[in-house]
Structure 1
């Protein structure tokens, strides 16, 4: 039998790495219906609580009534509608860049940007902990591909010395499994010395990070001269779907001409762009969402510290609790679920071997009372786990 899929699946199950999809039977929110049971959820990327916001829903309804429900064609044929154009202009203004370009997903935005900018004879240098879409983009570009040590400007510098052709330095803004932020000033300084460009995927930074929610580039005050390619997704803090790349006029025109995932894909529904415009308006206007979220993060970190569990160095809504062993992480997650709390166990190969974790994510939609329920449950479950392994 040429494809022994059954054995592959059995091996993954035996290693406690088998993935299963929970069935969500309600809208996103702090309290959800999953697999027939009501649970208090701490595993969504809906950081600002906009995924089920009534104004965003109404904007989608109104957009569908005005523009229909399908894009109809690619942007370069007849699929680039007025709402798409208005959203691109709004995102350019939001990021402080001359232009922005919509993509249907973050994966497509990363693939499109990297493969349009570099190729054979060029160099791509990426953080070891970058998202899979960035790593895949580097591998598919046909450029010379190398990974530097996580958030290590000296490691990047040593690789820049060996770079050939056009060189693109690629990093996440907020790392999705650790929750830490890229040391962009140091990385950009090394890139500038070698005339390399910097590309930042700030999927998890837009919304929660920055004085106005503008992400890590805003946080560090870095403009288009330092971060030439800025990527953001719309399915996390924006609460909708899709992605964008922001940068110079020349960059966006280059992507329109050469980014295959953009050229050969039907545009997203215009009504979705209408909904995202409303999300962006709420994100920029309602500062209380970020303020409340920051307060929850500080309370959570203090509470987990009192319990004695190991947290990673993160000031973002992504707050991983390191367990280590995959089987133990799954057991901890199940104990929480038995108490009505949904926290996902993240295991290899998504994270390095021996670093399985509970990936707790906080949202502005969570109340202080709900957070305290989580902290109490973590303390109870940790006591059970310690007793089991005494």
Structure 2
């Protein structure tokens, strides 16, 4: 029978405890979430600063951009947001995308397309990079080289072995499933030593790291050659931006098919992102509260002998190994009013299924204490 593999694939997923399902969220905030009529403490949100919980009535209601950016879709609101991001982050030029996935994958496909010499181009990626970066590299014309997570000796060996003329190192500022940060000093040093470019996906660092929440760019005097930030995490909006030199952005304008042939980002979302960007810059109290909450969670876990992966960011993973184990613990926590994510392969490597706990500035001390108390019981 045609397409019989669909049923077989679904059956196998269920057998392996890897079947994915959506939960219908009736109401949510950075602190609480209501699903199927029951309200839980929410430890599965990327709204790290709690900025999505405030409504704004003064955002323009022009919902559509009406065309692609290269026809008539590029409006003054787009340019103002791009200019503001360049000013804040220290880049010459920027492009707005509707999603971070599109931004990441299209940059790699475009940079290494039919215009680039295939035999002398290589992408060096951390093995734990986001799926959008992996997909973009696989669809590019460059050789795809993976290095062990944050292992700079392994990256150095890979670079030294390569004869490629055009080398691009790709990493994340904060890794989305482990919560640890990239070793920026060594990445910049290797970039210089090997005449390479560095691309950073700062989705989970922007808004959280740095005195003003500007992410990896505020943690180091050097800048990556390509920076991608997304608006759907700490900024609590939607969309993304790619920043780089004017020549690089002009190159994307000529050859990036996702950008050229997509309707430009909605002015409504651009204005919302601009509004949220200013709130993010002003959110010093929220960042202080977030760090206090993170430290409290880590301290309570240490006292309860709960093994949390090394992370100083809102992402605090507890690795349980098998998919079956993590689903069982997740169900036990839900029965006690705690909602968090069970992350399983292929999102994470085999035998590293985990609870991906995210701490936000909106959580109260009693919320975190309750979470740790139930974790201690379930584990």
Q: TM-score, normalised by structure 2?
A: 0.95
Once the two structures are superposed, what CA deviation does each residue of 1:57-106 show, in whole Å capped at 9, x if it has no partner? 324xx311xxx211211111111122111111111122121222101110
Q: Contact 1:40/1:342 (CA < 8 Å) preserved in 2?
A: yes
Once the two structures are superposed, what CA deviation does each residue of 1:344-371 show, in whole Å capped at 9, x if it has no partner? 1111111111111100001112122222
Q: Secondary structure in 1 aligned to 2:27?
A: coil
Question: 2:329: which partner in 1?
Answer: 332
CA–CA distance in structure 2, aligned partners of residues 2 and 194 of structure 1? 51
Counterparts in 2 of 1:16-35, with a 5 A limit? 16-35=17-36
Q: Secondary structure in 2 aligned to 1:203?
A: coil
Q: 1:116 aligns with which of 103, 106, 110?
A: 110
CA–CA distance in structure 2, aligned partners of residues 31 and 163 of structure 1? 52
Question: 1:358: which partner in 2?
Answer: 355
CA–CA distance in structure 2, aligned partners of residues 317 and 360 of structure 1? 8
CA–CA distance in structure 1, aligned partners of residues 8 and 293 of structure 2? 44
CA–CA distance in structure 2, aligned partners of residues 316 and 222 of structure 1? 22
Answering whether residue 284 of structure 2 is matched by residue 287 of structure 1, we say: yes
Question: 1:386: which partner in 2?
Answer: none
Q: Contact 2:129/2:171 (CA < 8 Å) preserved in 1?
A: yes
Counterparts in 2 of 1:20-169, with a 5 A limit? 20-54=21-55, 57-59=56-58, 62-64=59-61, 68-119=62-113, 120-121=118-119, 122-161=121-160, 162-169=162-169
CA–CA distance in structure 1, aligned partners of residues 353 and 36 of structure 2? 24
Question: 1:9: which partner in 2?
Answer: 10
Question: 1:385: which partner in 2?
Answer: none
CA–CA distance in structure 2, aligned partners of residues 254 and 13 of structure 1? 44
CA–CA distance in structure 1, aligned partners of residues 349 and 234 of structure 2? 26
Give how far 1:308 is off.
1.6
Once the two structures are superposed, what CA deviation does each residue of 1:258-279 show, in whole Å capped at 9, x if it has no partner? 2111111111210111111111
CA–CA distance in structure 2, aligned partners of residues 163 and 320 of structure 1? 38
Counterparts in 2 of 1:239-258, with a 5 A limit? 239-258=236-255
Q: Secondary structure in 1 aligned to 2:355?
A: strand
CA–CA distance in structure 1, aligned partners of residues 38 and 189 of structure 2? 51
Give how far 1:290 is off.
0.7
**Greater mean deviation of Cα atoms: 17-26 or 361-370:** 361-370
Answering whether residue 292 of structure 2 is matched by residue 298 of structure 1, we say: no
Question: 1:387: which partner in 2?
Answer: none
* Structure 1 moving runs of 4+ over 6 Å: none
Q: Secondary structure in 2 aligned to 1:311?
A: coil
RMSD of aligned C-alpha atoms? 1.3
Q: In the comparison of the two structures, how many residue pairs are matched?
A: 372
Q: Contact 1:32/1:41 (CA < 8 Å) preserved in 2?
A: yes
CA–CA distance in structure 2, aligned partners of residues 252 and 366 of structure 1? 39
Q: Contact 1:118/1:166 (CA < 8 Å) preserved in 2?
A: no
CA–CA distance in structure 1, aligned partners of residues 52 and 71 of structure 2? 30
Give how far 1:215 is off.
0.6
Once the two structures are superposed, what CA deviation does each residue of 1:184-214 show, in whole Å capped at 9, x if it has no partner? 2102211211111000001000011112111
Q: Contact 1:63/1:272 (CA < 8 Å) preserved in 2?
A: no
Structure 2 unaligned runs (5+)?
Answer: none
Give how far 1:176 is off.
0.5
Counterparts in 2 of 1:166-315, with a 5 A limit? 166-223=166-223, 227-315=224-312
CA–CA distance in structure 2, aligned partners of residues 24 and 163 of structure 1? 51
CA–CA distance in structure 2, aligned partners of residues 27 and 326 of structure 1? 26
